[in-house]
Structure formats: structure tokens, C-alpha cells
Amino acid sequence: MDPTLFFVLIASLFLGWCAGANDAASAVGTSLGARTLSYRKAVLIVVVFSMLGFLLQGQQVVDTVGGGILPKEVFAGNGKVVLAALIAASVITFATVLLALPISINHTLIGGIVGMAWILGMAGSLDYGTLSRVMACWLATPFISFAVTLLFHKLVVTPIARRMDWIIFSQIFKLLAVASAMIVSYSLGASAIGTILSPLLSSEIDGVLPSSGPIPPRLLLGLLVAVAFGLGVVIFSGRVIRTLSSKIALLGPATAFSAQFSAAVTVYGFVLIGLPASITHAVVGSIAAVGALKGTETLGTKTVGSIILGWTLAPLLSAALAVGVYSLL
């Protein structure tokens, strides 16, 4: 194997680990914060269902990020381009985890890809139609998730709560929180793992891996990234989980379920049209809706402001860093 492709694989796994600490924490952080899931169950759910999401519906996202924004020829056989984008995305994502800011690897990786277009003199080759749809998706996701959460909680969860014994109600919503974590992880796999693998597969690394084994190369790569996801949740997700579970709005079993389920519905809707929606955007929008339901004085507006600033700066910093990394390779 070309040494550059080997480092591309390592960088992809590290980005998967960082995404586990950030994006995957967004998928199950609400349930962990409300104590409706244990860490062990959360990790198992993320690994299994994110893998299913990628296998069954991640290909559309792979095509959008790995060839829809820049021509596939830019990635094919050019490991340096892929490696620079992956390193930049990994560094920025890791930094945001240290700062306990829930962002999205969609921001950092797509920012890195755009940076590569600039340094290669291919800004004119960017598919600005696809790029504008992706950016519109990023902007719309928290607002759509906010609205879905308000409607779902008021029209479904609240009427049920009024008619049910509190103990039974809490137990039911603990079970529903597990189900919603599965749905969110599935949507996350289709979106985030597809995003990570898109430049990796476009570099044609799967073509140099042994194809005679029991596991096809594409499936093996997806499995490795999904496992890296799970390890990121176990080892390093606590900072982002604390932000999502207590610094935006306090969560209980019912509100955690409302936030998770609404975020999953929002992200899955974008996955169906092949856009790499951010589960982080969706979850933050949903948790903000929960805070608004309890009263705006309970909403962590300072934390929300810091998160929005992170969302704005992450793709720009990733693009600049990708340019710098590429010039050093």
C-alpha cells in the first residue's frame, strides 16, 4: 500500500474517533444526561446502528461529499489532497472537543475540501449548487429541529404525561429514549460516517485492500470507522455530553426523548435527499426548544452563543489549516 494511503486510513480513523467524542455524543448525550442509558449501552447502540445507517443509506452522502462538491478526479489517486483535508478536520474537531463545543465533522471536513479547491486553483470547479445546498442544510437544521421538538412535545408528549402515572410515564420514556437513540445513531451513521468515508473511498483506498477476505473492503472500512466512533464515545465524550445535557437546558426522560426523536427525524429527512445534515445542529436546536418550553430564563444563552460561534469558525479554520497542511506534505 502507498504510505500516503496508509496515513489517509489512520487520519480517517482518528477523525472517526473525534466524531465519536463530538457527533456521537450529540446522538446519545441527551439520554446519558437524563440517565436513561448507561455508557455501555450507549456505545453499543452507536456502533451497531451507525454502521447500519451507513451501510443502508450512507452512499448518497458519500457521493455528495466525495464527488458532488469537487470532482472525484481530484481525490482519485491523490492521497495528499485527502490526507490534508482529513488532518485539518481532525485537528479542528479535536480542538472543539477540548473546548466542550458540540460542532460537526461535516463542518470541518467539507471546510477542508473547500480549502483544497483553493490551493489547487480549482475554486472554479467547485459545485456551488451542491455547496449551497449543504450550507442551506446546515443553516436550516437547528430551526427545523427546534420547530419539530416544540410540536412533538406539545402535541404528543405533554398529552400523554397528563393522562399517565408519573412512575409509569418515566419508565415508558426511558424505553422510548433507547429507541430514539437507535434512530439517532442510524441517522448519524448515514450522515457522519458517510461524510468521513467519502474522501477516503474517493482516494480509491478500497481498491488496494485485499478483496479476497470474508469482509469486502468497503464494509471493512465502514466497520473500522464505526468502531472508532464507539471508542470516541467511551474515552472522550464527557466534555461535550456535559454541555449538551446540562449547559443548554436541563433534561429529564421525557424531554430527552423529545429532543432525540425530533433531531433524528430532522437529520433523517436530509439523509433521504443525500445531504450531510449535522446531528449536532439538530440536537442543539431540539435542546434549545426544550429550554424554551421551560422558560427562556432556563436557557443557557451564553452556551448557545459559543456553540454558534464554533459552528461559524470551524469550516473556515479547517479550510485554512488544510491549505497549510497540504503545503507541508
pLDDT in tens, 184-238: 788 777 777 777 877 777 666 555 555 556 677 777 787 788 788 778 887 888 8
Q: Are 4 and 83 in contact (CB under 8 A)?
A: yes
Could you list the residue range(s) of the whole structural domain that residue 153 is in?
3-328
- Considering only CA atoms, which of 237, 230, 256, 272 is closest in space to residue 50? 230
User: Whole-angstrom Cα distance, residue 217 to residue 319?
Assistant: 29
Question: What is the per-residue pLDDT for 244?
Answer: 82
**pLDDT band for position 243 (cuts 50, 70, 90):** confident
Give the pLDDT score at 95: 95
Res 288 pLDDT > 60: yes
CA dihedral 316, 321, 326, 329 (to 10 degrees): -170
Rounded distance between C-alpha atoms, residue 71 and residue 65, angstroms: 10
pLDDT at residue 316, rounded to an integer: 92
Residue 298 above 70 pLDDT? Answer: no
**C-alpha cell belonging to residue 8:** 489517509
Percent pLDDT > 70 in the chain is: 87
User: 307 near 142, Cβ under 8 Å?
Assistant: no
Grid cell in block for residue 182: 437507535
Burial of 150 (0-12, 13-18, 19+ CB in 10 A): middle
pLDDT band at 296 (very low <50, low <70, confident <90, very high): low
Q: What is the pLDDT of residues 74-114, one digit of tens each?
A: 566 677 888 898 999 999 999 999 999 998 887 888 888 88
Structural domain count of the chain: 1
pLDDT reported for residue 76 = 61
The CA-based dihedral angle spanning residues 188, 191, 192, 196, taken in that order and rounded to the nearest 10 degrees: 150
- The amino acid sitting at 104 is S
Phi-psi region of 277 (alpha: psi -120 to 50; beta: other; left: phi over 0): beta
**61, 85, 102: which is closest to 239 by C-alpha?**
102
Neighbours of 139 (CB within 10 A): 12
- pLDDT score for 147: 95
Residue 62 binned pLDDT confidence (cut-offs 50, 70, 90): low
Contact 185, 45 (CB under 8 A): yes
Instruction: Report, in this order, helix, strand and coil percent for the chain, each rounded to 5.
Output: 85, 0, 15
Residue 15 has a pLDDT of 92
Question: Residue 68, Cα to own-chain centre: how many angstroms?
Answer: 19
Tell me the pTM.
0.82
Q: Is the pLDDT of residue 70 over 60?
A: no
> Which range scores top for mean pLDDT: 58-62, 100-104, 249-253, 292-296?
100-104
pLDDT of residue 119: 77
pLDDT in tens, 301-323: 888 899 999 999 999 999 999 99
| pLDDT given at position 207 | 53
